């Protein structure tokens, strides 16, 4: 072989060797990528397996992935469903609905984010489940991620939870009944002891014994009447027209002895903003009981004295009564059980039937009773009852009439105050905007004109003037009212006080508040 051929062959061998080295490097990189992909794939599978509900990943209507929970739910082997069309495992009655819902979700059109559907097991059996669906991108393409929850298991868990709650309720009721009936028995025991002892001839005598027997009888009758009401044994409320304002005033007279006790150590002030309302239909005696129960609850919330505010409003075919106290508020655990029969936070007293009876009575009258409470800020109960006539009551011009049609910006994080003011001002016809921070207030005041700003004292940037100074520059004559409790109002510096046109203390006295707001709106710059 000639030298030139040998040289050419050597060049070729070297070239092939370099190409081989590059190929080996590529193979090594591919092996590394494959291991990384396999690791990620195992992690994906482990993640899917760890999800407590059944999961299906769909692309083009076919099942790309399904976790072990989903396979077990449908009695399938691992991987058996992969590659099959999802409609193959959907009950025939639901195929059209599922197809439509999934297509709309993929297309970005309005579609249900969850629905109930029957899925088929390997043997053709049906398993009902609740599907939650989301559109995602999987490996660069649109996909649907479905989560399936067993409805039967969910219902079974709910059933167990309800049974536990029923047992707790029975225990509470048994304890309450024991206490109530025990009081009757103690009074009767006193009568029995007196009859068999010398007391019959002395201070008690026949008259004293008669009083004790009557007291026990009345208490027993009260217990049975209230239990009959809770058990639904009492007749439907009578369909007569009731004057709600008069009923509330009667309740106030009834609780008046409770407002001052302990030799004047506790003093409770009741401030009212009661206006004439259109009549409601129902049983006046039952409604009187309901409002009395809620008012007594407000009194019990003020062991050291305080204020109770009563306000009535009429709007959109409903009469509303607001009962607000300046007490310490309720904990979450108390709020959860507040309407449970025989639940009470008091060691002694009515046995805890009051609020549950009030709720039942209002419900019987087709109304609603809602509440809001925060520890350290008191509680507010809102009772709504439908009017006997849907026609609003015609009346003269009322206090706060300038509020109608006004544009009011409300800045509160205190949901109790915000909720109550929203109810009252909306009923007056105001247009309301509610925000939760000062930065948003500055932004929105730069775009819109307002007749009034109502601000809560819990906003530090408002109190320090960071936001208010900007708002004042943009709308210098815009009235700004601060809502604060007495301690917060008293701790403001003179420079901070100057930012506000008025400072109104909590609890809110609506008899004073609405005329003040109306006057400020009237004096303000008005809509721009």
Annotated domain spans of the chain: 1-43, 50-154, 155-230, 242-386, 401-523
CATH among 2.20.25.570, 3.30.450.20, 3.30.413.10, 3.30.70.1150 for 50-154: 3.30.450.20
Please report the pLDDT score of residue 526 as a whole number: 43
Fold of 242-386: Heat Shock Protein 90 (3.30.565)
Please report the pLDDT score of residue 397 as a whole number: 44
The span from the CA of 262 to the CA of 282, in Å, is 37
The CATH class, in words, for 401-523 is alpha beta
Angle between helix 438-445 and 466-474 (nearest 10): 10
Burial pattern 442-481, b for ≥16 Cβ within 10 A else e, equals beebeeeebbbbbbbbebeebbebebbebbeeebeebbbb
The span from the CA of 458 to the CA of 461, in Å, is 9
Place of tokens 């008091």: 346
Please report the pLDDT score of residue 394 as a whole number: 46
Residue 498: how many other CB atoms lie within 10 Å: 11
Domains 242-386 and 401-523 share a fold: no
Please report the pLDDT score of residue 210 as a whole number: 67
3-state helix, strand, coil in the chain (%, to 5): 50, 20, 30
Helix (H, G, I), strand (E, B) or coil at 452: strand
Please report the pLDDT score of residue 95 as a whole number: 92
Backbone angles phi, psi at 124, to 5 degrees: 90, 5
Lookup: tokens for 148: 């399936």
How many residues are given for the chain?
Answer: 528
Please report the pLDDT score of residue 396 as a whole number: 40
Residue 132's Cβ-count burial label (10 Å; 0-12, 13-18, 19+) is middle
Lookup: tokens for 330: 């309720």
Radius of gyration of the chain (CA): 36
User: Which residue stretches of the chain have pLDDT < 70?
Assistant: 1, 45, 48-49, 163-180, 182, 191-212, 214-215, 217, 219, 221-238, 261-265, 341-353, 389-401, 413-419, 437, 458-466, 493-496, 507, 509-511, 524-528
Q: In what order do the strands lie in the sheet with 379-386?
A: 260-261, 266-273, 306-315, 318-325, 379-386, 368-373
Q: Which residues contact 104 (CB under 8 A, 6 or more apart)?
A: 110, 111
């Amino acid at each position: 072989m000639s030298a030139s051929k040998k040289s050419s062959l050597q060049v070729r061998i070297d070239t092939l060797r370099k190409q081989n080295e590059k190929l080996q490097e590529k193979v090594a990189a591919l092996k590394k990528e494959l291991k990384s992909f396999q690791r990620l794939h195992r992690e994906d599978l482990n993640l899917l397996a760890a999800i407590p509900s059944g999961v299906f990943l769909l692309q083009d209507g076919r099942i790309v992935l399904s976790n072990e929970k989903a396979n077990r739910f449908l009695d399938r082997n691992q991987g058996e469903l992969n590659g099959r069309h999802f409609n193959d495992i959907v009950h025939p009655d639901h195929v059209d609905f599922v197809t439509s819902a999934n297509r709309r979700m993929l297309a970005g059109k309005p579609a249900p984010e969850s629905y109930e559907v029957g899925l088929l097991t390997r043997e053709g059996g049906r398993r009902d489940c609740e599907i939650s669906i989301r559109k995602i991108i999987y490996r660069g393409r649109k996909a649907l991620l479905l989560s399936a929850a067993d409805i039967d298991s969910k219902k079974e868990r709910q059933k167990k939870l309800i049974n536990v709650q029923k047992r707790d309720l029975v225990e509470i009721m048994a304890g309450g009944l024991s206490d109530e009936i025990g009081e009757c028995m103690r009074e009767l025991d006193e009568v029995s002891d007196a009859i068999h002892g010398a007391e019959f001839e002395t201070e008690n005598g026949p008259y004293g014994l008669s009083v004790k027997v009557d007291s026990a009888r009345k208490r027993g009758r009260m217990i049975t009447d209230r239990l009959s009401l809770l058990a639904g044994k009492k007749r439907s409320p009578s369909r007569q027209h009731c004057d709600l304002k008069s009923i509330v005033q009667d309740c106030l007279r009834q609780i008046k002895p409770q407002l001052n006790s302990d030799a004047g150590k506790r003093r409770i002030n009741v401030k009212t903003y009661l206006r004439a309302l259109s009549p409601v239909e129902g049983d006046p005696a039952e409604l009187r009981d309901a409002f009395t129960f809620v008012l007594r609850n407000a009194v019990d919330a003020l062991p050291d004295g305080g204020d109770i505010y009563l306000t009535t409003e009429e709007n959109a075919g409903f009469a509303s009564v607001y009962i607000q106290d300046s007490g310490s508020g309720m904990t979450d655990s108390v709020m959860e059980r507040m309407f449970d029969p025989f639940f009470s936070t008091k060691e002694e007293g009515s046995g805890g039937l009051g609020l549950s009876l009030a709720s039942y009575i209002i419900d019987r009258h087709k109304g609603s009773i809602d509440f809001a409470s925060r520890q350290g800020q008191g509680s507010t109960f809102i009772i709504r009852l439908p009017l006997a006539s849907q026609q609003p009551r015609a009346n003269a011009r009322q206090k706060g009439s300038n509020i109608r049609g006004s544009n009011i910006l409300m800045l509160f994080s205190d949901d109790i105050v915000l909720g109550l003011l929203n109810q009252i001002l909306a009923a007056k016809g105001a247009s309301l905007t509610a925000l939760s921070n000062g930065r948003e207030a500055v932004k929105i005041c730069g775009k819109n004109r307002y007749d009034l700003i109502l601000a809560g004292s819990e906003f530090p940037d408002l109190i320090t003037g960071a936001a208010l100074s900007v708002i004042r520059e943009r709308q210098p004559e815009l009235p700004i009212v601060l809502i604060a409790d007495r301690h917060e109002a008293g701790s403001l510096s003179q420079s901070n006080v100057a930012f506000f046109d008025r400072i109104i203390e909590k609890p809110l006295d609506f008899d004073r508040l609405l005329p003040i707001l109306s006057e400020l709106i009237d004096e303000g710059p008005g809509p721009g």
